[in-house]
C-alpha cells in the first residue's frame, strides 16, 4: 500500500469531500494561500478559491460561531482551530450552540460542523500549545469526538466527520503530522465507534489513544520479550465509544492499563476505568492502572515536561504492576 503523511491524508479527505459536495467550506487562520501552519490545507485554496476556503482573523469564537450559523443554514463547514488550546476562546459556541441545537430544536435543525484542531506535546510546546482537552468535549451531550492515530484513520474519519449531520470534534496530534503511514488508494470512509485492536495479547489489556498508541505498542514489544503479551486497543473515537471491544478484551485478559496523554483526574482514563468497573469487575484480577500526564500545566523546560508526561517506561511499569496484581 502507498505511504503518505498524516497531514496529507487530511488534505486528501477534505479535497475529495469539497469536490463531492459544494456545501463543504473550510475556514481557519492561515489556511488560505499560506496553506496552514502544518500545510494541513495544502492546495485547497488554489483549487477551491477564497469563496470556499476562507482565511480568518484570529477570532476563534467568531470562526466557530459563524460555522455553527452556517451549518444551521445548510453549509458543511470545517473550522480549523490549528492548536486545540485555542478552542477555549470559542467554548461557548461549541457547547451552548453547536452541541445543543439539534436536541433543543427537537431534531429540526442539524449542525453539521467539523471542528478541527491539533493537540499534544511535541517538544517544549509549553502551556498554550500542548493541551489535550478532548475528554471535555466527550462530557458534553451532542458532540462526537474523534482522535485519529494514523494517516489511514485521518482520511477515513475526516470524510465520515464531514458527512456527519452533527458537530464533530476532529482532534489530531501535532507529533503525527509529518509521519507517514499506509493509506489505501481512492475513496473510503471509516465508521465512528469501532475500536482497533492493534496488537493481540492474552495477558493485559492496554487502552491508548492518539500519541499514546505508539508508546503503547513500544511498551508491548518490550514486555513481549519478558513473556508478557499485551493487547493494545485504540478506541479511535471517544464519542461514540466502542465499549464492547474494550470489555471483551478485559474479560479475556483480566487486567487493564489505560495510557492517556491528558491528566487522569476526571479524564478519559477515569471513564474507561468506571465502565470496566461497572461492567466487568468480576473479570479483573488486578487493580486498574492508569498512566497519564501529571496534574500540572505543561512546563516549557524539557526535563520538567518529560517528568510531567506519560512515557513508554511508565507504561511498561504500569503493566508490570498489573501483572504482579
Partner 1 sequence: MALSESLVLGLYRSMVRIRLFELKVQEVYRSGVMPGFIHLYVGEEAVAAGVCESLSQYDYVTSTHRGHGHAIAKGIPMGPAFAEIWGKPNGCNGGRGGSMHIYDPAFGFLGTNGIVGASVPLGAGAALAAQVKGSKQVAVSFFGDGAVNNCAFHEGVNLAAIWNLPVVFVCENNLYATETPFAKVTRNTDVASRGAAYGIPGTSVDGNDVIAVYQAAGQAIDVARSGGGPTLIECRTYRPLGHFEGDPGIGYRTKEEIAEWKKRDPINVLRERILADRLATAEILDGIWSDVEVEVEAAYQYAKSGPDADPSSVMDFVYSD
109 counts as binding partner 1 under rule CB under 8 A: yes
- Residue pointed to by grid coordinates 500519541: 211
Nearest CA-CA partner of 194 in 163, 167, 160, 143: 160
Applying CB under 8 A, among 32, 148, 156, 166 the residue interacting with partner 1 is 166
Instruction: To the nearest 10°, report the CA torsion of 188, 190, 191, 196.
Output: 150
Catalytic positions, written as ranges: 60, 129
Quick check: bond before 240 cis, omega within 30? yes
Q: Which three cell numbers stand for residue 227?
A: 513473556
Closer to partner 1 by CB, 70 or 208: give it.
Answer: 70
102 counts as binding partner 1 under rule CB under 8 A: yes
72-101 burial: b if 16+ Cβ within 10 Å, else e: beebbbbbbbbbbbbbebbbebbbebbbbb
Number of residues that bind partner 1 (CB under 8 A): 47
49 counts as binding partner 1 under rule CB under 8 A: no
CB of 91 to partner 1, least distance (A): 11
28 counts as binding partner 1 under rule CB under 8 A: no
Closer to partner 1 by CB, 14 or 72: give it.
Answer: 72
Residues 293 and 286: their CA atoms lie apart, in Å, by 22
Interacting span for partner 1 (CB under 8 A) from 38-46, 158-166, 230-238, 312-320: 158-166
Closer to partner 1 by CB, 66 or 213: give it.
Answer: 66
253-268 burial: b if 16+ Cβ within 10 Å, else e: bbbbbbbbbbbbeebb
Closer to partner 1 by CB, 105 or 178: give it.
Answer: 105
Applying CB under 8 A, among 4, 9, 11, 72 the residue interacting with partner 1 is 72
Within residues 203-262, the interface with partner 1 by CB under 8 A covers: none
Nearest CA-CA partner of 46 in 10, 18, 76: 18
Closer to partner 1 by CB, 126 or 240: give it.
Answer: 240
User: Residue 237 CA to chain centroid, in angstroms?
Assistant: 7
Q: Which three cell numbers stand for residue 124?
A: 517544549
108 counts as binding partner 1 under rule CB under 8 A: yes
Site string for partner 1, 257-276 (x = CB under 8 A): --------------------
Residues that bind partner 1 (CB under 8 A): 22-23, 25, 51-52, 54, 56-57, 59, 61-75, 77, 92-93, 96-97, 101-112, 141-142, 144, 164-166
Amino acid at each position: 500500500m502507498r505511504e503518505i503523511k498524516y497531514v496529507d491524508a487530511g488534505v486528501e479527505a477534505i479535497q475529495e469531500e469539497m469536490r463531492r459536495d459544494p456545501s463543504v467550506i473550510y475556514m481557519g487562520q492561515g489556511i488560505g494561500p499560506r496553506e496552514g501552519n502544518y500545510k494541513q490545507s495544502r492546495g485547497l485554496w488554489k483549487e477551491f478559491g477564497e469563496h470556499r476556503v476562507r482565511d480568518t482573523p484570529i477570532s476563534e469564537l467568531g470562526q466557530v460561531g459563524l460555522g455553527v450559523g452556517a451549518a444551521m443554514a445548510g453549509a458543511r463547514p470545517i473550522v480549523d482551530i490549528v492548536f486545540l488550546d485555542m478552542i477555549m476562546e470559542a467554548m461557548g459556541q461549541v457547547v451552548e450552540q453547536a452541541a445543543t441545537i439539534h436536541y433543543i430544536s427537537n431534531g429540526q435543525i442539524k449542525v453539521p460542523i467539523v471542528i478541527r484542531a491539533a493537540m499534544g506535546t511535541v517538544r517544549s510546546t509549553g502551556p498554550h500549545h500542548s493541551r489535550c482537552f478532548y475528554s471535555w468535549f466527550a462530557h458534553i451531550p451532542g458532540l462526537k469526538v474523534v482522535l485519529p492515530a494514523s494517516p489511514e484513520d485521518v482520511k477515513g474519519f475526516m470524510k465520515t466527520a464531514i458527512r456527519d449531520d452533527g458537530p464533530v470534534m476532529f482532534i489530531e496530534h501535532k507529533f503525527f503530522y509529518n509521519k507517514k503511514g499506509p493509506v489505501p488508494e481512492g475513496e473510503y470512509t471509516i465508521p465512528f465507534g469501532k475500536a482497533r485492536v492493534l496488537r493481540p495479547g492474552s495477558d493485559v489489556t492496554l487502552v491508548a489513544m492518539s500519541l499514546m498508541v505508539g508508546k503503547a505498542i513500544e511498551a508491548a514489544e518490550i514486555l513481549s520479550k519478558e513473556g508478557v503479551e499485551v493487547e493494545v486497543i485504540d478506541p479511535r473515537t471517544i464519542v461514540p465509544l466502542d465499549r464492547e471491544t474494550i470489555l471483551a478484551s478485559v474479560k479475556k485478559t483480566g487486567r487493564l492499563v489505560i495510557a492517556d496523554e491528558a491528566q487522569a483526574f476526571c479524564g478519559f482514563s477515569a471513564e474507561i476505568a468506571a465502565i470496566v468497573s461497572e461492567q466487568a469487575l468480576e473479570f479483573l484480577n488486578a487493580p486498574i492502572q492508569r498512566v497519564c500526564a501529571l496534574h500540572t500545566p505543561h512546563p516549557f523546560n524539557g526535563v520538567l515536561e518529560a517528568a510531567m508526561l506519560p512515557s513508554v517506561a511508565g507504561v511498561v511499569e504500569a503493566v508490570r504492576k498489573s501483572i504482579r496484581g
